[in-house]
Amino acid sequence: MIRNQTIVDILNEEPKHQELEVKGWVRSFRANRFIALNDGSTLKNLQCVVDFENMDADLLKRVTVGAAIAVTGGLVESQGSGQNVEIEVASIQILGDADPEDVKRTILQPKRHTLEKLREQAHLRVRTNTFGAIMRLRSQLAFAVHKYFNENGYYYVHTPVITGSDAEGAGEMFRVSALDPKNPPLVDGEIDYKQDFFGKETNLTVSGQLEAETYALGLGKVYTFGPTFRAENSNTSRHLAEFWMIEPEIAFCDLDGNMDLAEDFIKYVIKYVIENCQDDLEFLEGRQEQEDKSKPEAERSPMRLRDKLNFVLENNFKRVSYTEAIEILKNSKPNKKKKFKYIIEEWGADLQSEHERFLVEKHFKSPVILFDYPAKIKAFYMRLNEDQKTVRAMDILFPGIGEIVGGSQREERLDVLKQKMGELDIPEEELWWYLDTRKFGTCVHSGFGLGFERLVLFVTGMGNIRDVIPYPRTPQNAEF
């Protein structure tokens, strides 16, 4: 029986002249003799050598760029450079034609395309080298996330996508409703959500944190890894309206333990892809270097891609209080010379990406964990410190990207939590179930959130978050 194999496995085999079958898409067909075949399992193509004089000419005319074919033949040592093995083609079957005239209108045409052009044809871009590499890396990163938590005794919890609460208190949420938008039921001029599907106002979740906390206070260590949504009108290279979040929550864990976990976790998943995705990382590193050549010096990447990843692995994350960071920034040259877009003048300022990158790339030259932020700029559920001014919050800052993780020790004291909710006008009846957990065996507990696309952005070296998710959702764009 002829074996059907993936190209990544075939390229690692010895040339034993055994007959096999491989299926994939044609990347190129040169001199009516050399087919470059790719099936998505690897960046590399498999060369299939055709004896065109003994092959049906009409069949060969259908071997065009983009066509899906099945090739049967013997695996032999390659006669040319660039590959160790190749297939001597015995037969070809056309599985799906691709008209060359149609291909000319698409990004399947073998030439360099802009990233903007690739986004316009997002349904085809995974067939390019760049997006094949990105999406294989994304898949491996997702696997490494689950692998890490599974190996460390965490339970995977699926938190609701439709929710009646706003975990961040930001109010930038997508409403979910089954009411007729043209003729909704009204009471005193207001929409009567009691007649809606859930009998109340509901939204797409901005975070699974609050629900995950309740499960940590029963299972000990849990994590969520699912889609989250923000109706933020931020049309930038770092924001998406729909993205994936990794959120561990741990009982009996303080902020120091939380910082230890976040650092260990990030290093684990980066190490995993370095060890398992060398070809794709090497390709994306070369791509980044080519891109940098066309950029002004100031906009170029400070490090090569794999050097940047190893930089994270080889350096302990520097832990710095917010107060200390503000002093560093206030006294920095860019601040004194007004080179920062947002000048740091006083304690309490919300740090921007330019400040975060300065701390990481210029001052400490290592990843940085900032902690003990002003309570006024952080969420209600973060534990209030004894100074009554700061909370046990932490952010992890990375080179080239700024904040990649946000977390905190959670406020476990019922009275303090109620007080903070009251100050922010968060109704207790909306979160009665969350408050309940502070009545029945409350304990110190902590957690963090890591935007998965930010992690993929960092690992792939891409410059725009829309290029690390299959179908980006952004303001005025829900195509595909």
Domains of the chain: 3-107 (2.40.50.140), 129-170+206-467 (3.30.930.10), 174-205 (no CATH)
Residue 48: phi, psi to the nearest 5?
Answer: -115, 120
Tell me, what's the pLDDT at 331? 95
Tell me, what's the pLDDT at 1? 59
Tokens describing residue 398: 């990375």
CA distances from 374 to 209, 323, 384, 442 (A): 21, 9, 10, 24
Q: Which residues pair with 226 in a beta bridge?
A: 245
Distance CA 459, CA 133 (A): 11
Give start and end residues of each alpha helix (H) in 393-466: 414-423, 432-436, 452-460
Residue 20: phi, psi to the nearest 5?
Answer: -145, 170
Over the range 428-466, which residues count as b (16 or more CB within 10 Å of their CB) and which as e? eeebeebeebbeeeeebbbbbbbbbbbbbbbbbbbbebb
User: What's the pTM?
Assistant: 0.94
Instruction: Going from the first residue of the chain to its last (480 residues), give the mean pLDDT of each consecutive group of 10, the final group possibly shorter.
Output: 82 84 96 96 96 95 97 91 90 97 94 93 96 98 98 98 75 90 93 94 94 97 97 86 97 98 98 97 95 85 90 94 97 94 94 93 94 95 96 94 94 97 91 96 97 96 95 93
Distance CA 413, CA 191 (A): 36
Please give the DSSP secondary-structure letter assigned to residue 169: S
Tell me, what's the pLDDT at 238? 81
Distance CA 218, CA 203 (A): 26
**Residue the block writes with tokens 């696309």:** 453
Tell me, what's the pLDDT at 4? 74
Distance CA 387, CA 400 (A): 33
Tokens describing residue 257: 């333990």
55-84: pLDDT as tens digits: 999 999 999 999 999 999 999 999 877 789
Tell me, what's the pLDDT at 21? 94
SS3 341: coil
Tell me, what's the pLDDT at 2? 64
SS3 231: coil
Distance CA 442, CA 363 (A): 40
